[in-house]
Chains A and B, each alone.
Chain A
Amino acid sequence: MTGESDPRFLEFRRTSAPKLRNELVEDNQRLADYLARRYTHRGVPDADLRQVAYIGLINAVDRFDPAMGVKFATFAGRTIEGELKRHFRDATWMVRVPRGAKDRSLDVRNAIDRLTNELGRSPKPHEVALSLGISEDAVIEALDVSAARSVDSLDRPAGLGGVEVGGSVGGSDPGFDAVDGELTLEELLPLLGERERQIVELRVYRQLSQSEIAAQVGLSQMHVSRLLRRSLETLRQATET
């Protein structure tokens, strides 16, 4: 049952009644089971995966606001997958990325901000390397370490866009078929600040170049480029958490 048509979501949002919460969680349990199954055979016991998925489901029930205009199954799918991904990331982060690399990544990002201000342009990797006394390769690696936190192997689990969810979990909840649907850009834009949203809209909908946007909003092209990329990465992450 979708959030739009199930009045219990509105009632739960108003009352926070534990009994209602339990009902909503139980009614959507199969969605959590389905999503947990996507992550099997990856070194985490199935029972743990289900538990993590249920935590995601509970969080989804707690946070879901029918006024958002998205179906509960869509919202819960994202929330549950986000919980599962975080579980894997937390479990693997220390193994994949040594502490030194994480610290260096932070140093590199700070140095880039400082040099950008000093030089009035984006620095070259060798300039960052020189300012920190490390190799250029280390700078490039550090740039990617920071990316590893947000865009990593678990960001696109199997089955997106290709598995018939309804066929896998039964037909009691017609909203399940929306789990794999992408949130549209329009739905995500409200997540951005006013200036970032304006820049994305000018680029995507009016097809203006970065230079044209820069002239319109009174920023440098370099600044527009950075804001645009970060905004879109933010939106991408929002679809995956």
Chain B
Amino acid sequence: MTTPLEIRVTLPATTSLLGFCRLAASAAAASLGFDVDELDDVRAAVGEAIGLLLSGHPIDAPTSALLELRLTLDNDSIEIAAEIEHPSLIACEETSLTAALLGATVDEYSFDLHVGRRAAHLVKHRMS
């Protein structure tokens, strides 16, 4: 693959679709030849990172907020970017456990967490 393939999905920002995000990311990573251990890493990282983006979101309220999920596939790496913008988003921060989990499962990660906007960025390289 010479040109990175980009997949963009917009979905309601609800934790009930967290499984969709994990599945989409792991299926995309599988298409790059990631082994099952690496797919487990991708799943765990996506669940943790997007779970943080969704934490504290008023899930009882109508889900007007949208989650933008972008998967960029290069030869041997997948980049996962997720972003939510909504006035109801309160302040939140990365915990030590989140940092540990992401540090163990992906090669790069970063968060941009603000009131009203949260974003996560993950990169995982294929080692196998």
Residue from B26, B30, B60, B95 in contact with A158 in the complex, judged by beta carbons closer than 8 Å? B60
A158's nearest neighbour on chain B, judged by CB, is: B59
Structural contact, B55 and A144, CB atoms closer than 8 A: no
Provide the residues of chain A in CB contact with B100, threshold 8 Å: 185, 200, 203-204, 232, 235
Report if A136 contacts B (CB, 8 A): yes
B92's nearest neighbour on chain A, judged by CB, is: A161
Report if B15 contacts A (CB, 8 A): yes
Report if A157 contacts B (CB, 8 A): yes
Proximity bits, A226-241, B CB within 8 Å = 1, else 0: 1011001101100100
The CB with the most chain B CB atoms within 10 A, among A200, A225, A235, is that of A225
Proximity bits, B103-119, A CB within 8 Å = 1, else 0: 11100000000000000
| B 75-128 contacts with A by CB, 8 A | 90-93, 95-97, 99-101, 103-105, 128
Residue from A125, A156, A162, A236 in contact with B36 in the complex, judged by beta carbons closer than 8 Å? A125
Task: Using A122-B37, A153-B16 as known contacts, say yes or no to A162 and B90 having CB atoms under 8 A apart.
Answer: yes
The CB with the most chain A CB atoms within 10 A, among B93, B99, B101, is that of B101
B115's nearest neighbour on chain A, judged by CB, is: A162
Measured CA separation A15–B9 after assembly (Å): 57
Report if A25 contacts B (CB, 8 A): no
Provide the residues of chain B in CB contact with A125, threshold 8 Å: 30, 35-36, 39
Residue from B34, B38, B47, B92 in contact with A147 in the complex, judged by beta carbons closer than 8 Å? B47
Structural contact, A122 and B128, CB atoms closer than 8 A: yes
Provide the residues of chain A in CB contact with B41, threshold 8 Å: 225, 229
Report if B68 contacts A (CB, 8 A): no
Report if A171 contacts B (CB, 8 A): no
Report if B70 contacts A (CB, 8 A): no
Structural contact, B37 and A144, CB atoms closer than 8 A: no
Measured CA separation A172–B41 after assembly (Å): 44
Structural contact, B55 and A185, CB atoms closer than 8 A: no
Q: How far is the CB of A103 from chain B (nearest CB, A)?
A: 18
Measured CA separation A112–B97 after assembly (Å): 27
Provide the residues of chain A in CB contact with B57, threshold 8 Å: 158
Task: Using A41-B60, A122-B36, A151-B51 as known contacts, say yes or no to A239 and B104 having CB atoms under 8 A apart.
Answer: no
3 closest A-B pairs (Cβ-Cβ)?
Answer: A162-B90, A122-B37, A153-B16
Which of A's residues lie within 8 Å of B, judged by CB? 38, 40-42, 112, 121-125, 128, 136-137, 139-141, 143-144, 147-148, 151-163, 182, 184-185, 188, 200, 203-204, 210, 222, 225-226, 228-229, 232-233, 235-236, 239
Which of B's residues lie within 8 Å of A, judged by CB? 14-19, 22-23, 26-27, 30, 33-41, 43-44, 47-48, 51, 54-60, 90-93, 95-97, 99-101, 103-105, 128
Task: Return 23 A-B CB contacts under 8 Å, by A number.
Answer: A38-B60, A42-B60, A122-B35, A122-B37, A124-B33, A124-B35, A124-B36, A125-B35, A137-B27, A140-B27, A143-B26, A143-B36, A147-B43, A152-B19, A158-B59, A161-B90, A182-B97, A184-B96, A203-B103, A226-B37, A232-B101, A236-B97, A236-B101
